[in-house]
Structure 1
């Protein structure tokens, strides 16, 4: 009797460890699938391909912007189309910080970097976000994104260093030449 109890206990413990290992492996492959889908959507946005940019969003996708406004999939697509029209240069990159899979739901925390040129301004934004993904018969789909307040840096472009350098009030070319060469790191930024 004792031997059969030990054998049964060993068998149960072994199956628990095997199932835990398989669950961990499945969770890891789920994480990889979600990250691959995020990267594919970013590639689509960088190519200005709306279909690829939103390929893994569910039909009922919603996003809450940093100001608290919630928009649906159509409104989000219209917003990105306006961005594409305004920008002569548009490049996104996302840093996925954490993917937490729990059954048929997953949460993602990340940081999006957006670089664009609109008119004569170069704009760099860093925007933290939080996603909710759901497992469907078509794989993982993004159903919700929450944008948080990020940082933005705008720089006017088109000026050469000599246009930006202040010159002393002088008519002597020799004095102007000496002034520029005395400026730290002027010729070697």
Structure 2
């Protein structure tokens, strides 16, 4: 990244209502001297999603902050964390982020995000492996992908998925490109990297 470029870091964490700061420890959890208690996993999760803008032209700040309390899947409460952070929600929130960056005059930024599945979803209507064989054949025809009428569905999907991977950007990546920014996906990490 250019030293003069703005960088926006995205994350969508949660905090469980029973989280206790004083339980944090640098000791190895397998240490026999530690007293292991069963944690209470029932209760609400306080979820939030935001970007942190690091720009050479302005103070570091939080952008497009959305906070909600996960609950049951009812009309009165948002769903819990795992059900709420899906592709549709993320695209809607991401449009809000890009609009906010535009209003602030942020141009040519690097947008850094993790590899969550919902961040890499493609536009509605992009073929998926779940479609029937005739629909996959129609998609091959639409994209100019040669196939034989006797090809199995798995062969059709193999051809289509290779084409999609190469030629059809994930929806949020295309949104970023359309606004003149760039996306950087961080390498996959495991929880053991955080210890």
TM-score, normalization by structure 1:
0.24
TM-score, normalization by structure 2:
0.23
Higher relative contact order (CA 8 A, sep 6+): 2
Q: Which structure carries more helix by proportion?
A: 1
